Amino acid sequence: MNVRDQALHEADGLSLYGERLASRILLGTAGYPSPAILADAVRASSADIVTVSLRRETAGGRVGERFIELIRGLGVKVLPNTAGCRTARDAITTAMMARELFATDWVKLEVIANDDTLQPDVFGLVEAAETLVREGFKVFPYTTEDLSVAERLQRVGCEVIMPWGSPIGTGRGLVNVAALRTLRAYFPNATLVIDAGIGAPSHASFAMELGYDAVLLNTAVAKAADPARMAAAFAAAVKAGRAAHLAGLMPERDMAVPSTPVVGTPFFDLE
């Protein structure tokens, strides 16, 4: 990388609650075949942040302790999440425990409303976010693409908003593209991260092309036949999508437009 490219890379870094990061991938840690494969995937993704479920790891006893040691050894920032919480009160309690265990005031806030879709409970989410921000947390709320919910989350102090692309673990990509475009346009200066539903590198690239700041991945990497190779593919896709967004994508058109001008084209009359 030459000096110019290095300067552009540093200038385009991701900022989350004032902390500068090089990677625009946040990687989940659930569901990997082994700790070694997880470690390889984290390295291949170049992720600076990994999410960790407090409930899953603390329930593991000594296994949980070894897992935490593994994550710390990778030199990445831990983003604890409140996965599995069904009420604002439960999520707040879990976040408080996570702050003590991981020594961080960052938390990915999840309050789940429905067991089948794992759709966020947006009412409980806003309630919990308001309390946690007041307690000094830097909140990363997992929400829907609803504009009014995003407004309320910003109003209570969330600097990062994390709308889903589609339900967790479905791999369907960005289902409601129109709403996600609107969200990006309405909050041009907010940090928006697509969280959930990303199933292929092309989905991640598309999210970045729309102008989203980062993506959070888990299942698509963890369940791949070769998680490390898939993580590397996502890293390349995110970089490509971000570069395309910065370069400026051509607008879509309803009619064909010739790439070669027809003005001045010679016509020959053979009669």
Whole-number Å distance between alpha carbons of 44 and 25: 11
Residue 138 designated active-site: no
Whole-number Å distance between alpha carbons of 120 and 98: 20
User: What's the 3-state SS for 175-237?
Assistant: CCHHHHHHHHHHCCCCEEEEECCCCCHHHHHHHHHCCCCEEEECHHHHCCCCHHHHHHHHHHH
Are the C-beta atoms of 83 and 57 separated by less than 8 Å? no
Whole-number Å distance between alpha carbons of 50 and 24: 12
Coil vs helix vs strand at 21? strand
CA atoms within 13 A on the CB side of 209: 15
Whole-number Å distance between alpha carbons of 146 and 144: 5
In terms of Cα–Cα distance, which of 97, 6, 9, 19 is closest to 56? 97
Among 108, 138, 223, 239, the active-site one is 108
In terms of Cα–Cα distance, which of 205, 243, 218 is closest to 49? 218
* Token pair recorded at residue 5: 């490219």
The two beta strands, 106-109 and 14-16, are: unpaired
CB atoms within 10 A of CB 109: 30
Residues belonging to the active site? 108
